[in-house]
Chains A and B, each alone.
Chain A
């Protein structure tokens, strides 16, 4: 059942050099994604999930502004060992990215058709137009032929995000990285876009890494979910197991902070005390310890991510799966 992974991320770190000194936006992250899987990554703002997505894709590489260590292997290719031209070839075919805000992810002075066709290689003009039309139809855009001649501002937000997805699909990628694909959209449109991603995953067999700060977006759609905190993975488990019995205190607190309709009126929201750490000077050991109600002296050393029947967590004081701590 467990086929060989499509994507393997091994001890990946992205250290960003700033004027205030370097900080690790991503710190030793490892996970795998299976072909055709929907893999969720959740974390609050600043937890490093977008940087992780871009590093995995190879958009962020070692250079004057950052240092990347560790390994990303996609379909047998070591992404960070590729030349710039090799990476571009990879982006044209094997991996696509969906961005957060479709209003800014499309060039305002370029027509939709050009956005779709300019990346296509070895196709005649008419063949490329036909293919672009097909792609727009695939993502559920009505009157695709007319849309090709329109500019991004002539489309609604949801429609634009569909275009962004169509662009990402142009090279028939085996992996799609969707970085907060619904955050900038209306709630009703959010569901449509998530349903679309689910449909594409099922119909095309495309693996999707769904990055979100919103647990509800990931719940019920992702096969497995990774919880990120301050650049590290706190917990990684099949979605059902994670939501039913979180092992990491951060995940537990996150789940508890979601308001429920069943709660009696006026019951206070469960917030997590404190604030995420300053990434330029993170706490030693467990990053969550300063905000954790289970913290002890042991938490001054970093806990390793250990797996327990496919449910991995990085904590010295894991929450018991059933029946409290």
Chain B
């Protein structure tokens, strides 16, 4: 078990190194010369050379990578190229909670909706509820999230006035107000996730429900709810858990459209703004942090398989 953990940690470090190389390579991949971005138009060749020297751009690539990685490891992600040249780490630290909260909240909503829907659909597969859910999830999947978001805003914010829009309230300003503001954007994201979660879980549940141990649980006189939650759910949740890990990581960086719709100061907004301005350190810092979270979340998911199925615990790879 200990050896296992060590091996996993080594793997994790390797993956993170690869991620950091990829992130560092962004400098070369992004259009425009960073020195020019900082200097603006109308500079002399000498000024340009001095600026390159100051930014460390004159060094060989491996040396620059070493410096960058060393700084990143100490929590220093550099300063923004764009005035007011704020600290990248500070900006990321401000934007990250918004995105993480949105993603986690959306995930929780999606699970809360998807698990009962999938169970009902699988338990009475081919029935009325199953067909409605199936059509509904297909419908949601085929609608782009900005449309869903606009519909939700039109209905709940504009017409009914139940929820605010274009406002954000931080957790530090009170949990109630924060959740109230986060509800609609989280729901917008959750709809799409609910649809995929429901479809995946329904399929796995239908397979599990045909197992002998389900029949033997019934033959023991267990109620359907018990059979579904205590016997069928856990063995059916592997694809769902895997999907959740991928979704959670993805959502943190890619809720741009929803953030834009609701005017939220999250990671998506930060990255798009920085990329637009050619602000390389900002993009690098944000991408690195998202990648780190993604890798860590999925490592945790990997470890959870053993908790879900005792057979994996023993026969460990």
Contact = CB atoms under 8 A, between A and B. Distances in A.
A91 B310 contact: no
Interface of A: 54, 57, 59, 64, 88-93, 96-97, 99-101, 104-110, 118-119, 151, 153, 164, 167-168, 170-171
Given A59-B218, A88-B223, A97-B219, A106 B311 contact: no
Given A91-B218, A110-B230, A118-B226, 6 more contacts: A64-B127, A89-B221, A105-B216, A118-B220, A118-B230, A151-B311
A100 B211 CA distance: 12
B235 A107 contact: yes
A119 B215 contact: no
B212 A99 contact: yes
B308 A109 contact: yes
Contact of A109 (B126, B212, B219, B310): B310
Interface of B: 126-127, 211-213, 215-223, 226, 230-231, 234-235, 308-311, 314
B216 A91 contact: no
Most chain A beta-carbon neighbours within 10 Å: one of B215, B217, B221, B310:
B221
Given A64-B126, A151-B311, A153-B310, A105 B222 contact: no
Contacts of B226: 118
Nearest to B235: A109
Contacts of A119: 220-222
A108 B310 contact: yes
Contacts of B222: 88, 118-119
Given A108-B309, A108-B310, A91 B219 contact: yes
Contacts of A153: 310-311, 314
Contacts, number: 70
B219 A59 contact: yes
A151 B310 contact: yes
6 contacts: A93-B221, A96-B219, A100-B212, A105-B213, A119-B221, A153-B314
Across chains A and B, which 6 residue pairs bring their CB atoms closest together, nearest first? A92-B221, A91-B221, A104-B212, A88-B221, A119-B220, A97-B219
A223 to B, nearest CB: 24
A296 B125 CA distance: 47
A109 B309 contact: yes
B220 A107 contact: no
Nearest to B214: A107
Contact of A97 (B216, B230, B314): B216
A118 B216 CA distance: 12
B231 A107 contact: yes
B223 A109 contact: no
Contacts of A93: 221
Contacts of A88: 221-223
A298 to B, nearest CB: 41
B1 to A, nearest CB: 17
B201 to A, nearest CB: 16
Contacts of A107: 213, 217, 231, 235
A68 to B, nearest CB: 16
A105 to B, nearest CB: 5
Given A108-B311, A109-B310, A99 B216 contact: yes
Nearest to B308: A109
A104 B221 contact: no
Nearest to A64: B126
B221 A90 contact: yes
A119 B220 CA distance: 6
Nearest to A93: B221
A153 B310 CA distance: 9
Contacts of B215: 54, 59, 99, 105
Nearest to A89: B221
A100 B231 CA distance: 19
Contacts of A100: 212
A207 to B, nearest CB: 17
Given A59-B219, A91-B221, A171-B221, A101 B212 contact: yes
Contacts of B231: 107, 110
Contacts of B308: 109
Contacts of B309: 108-109
Contacts of A110: 230-231
Contacts of B311: 108, 151, 153
Contacts of A104: 211-213
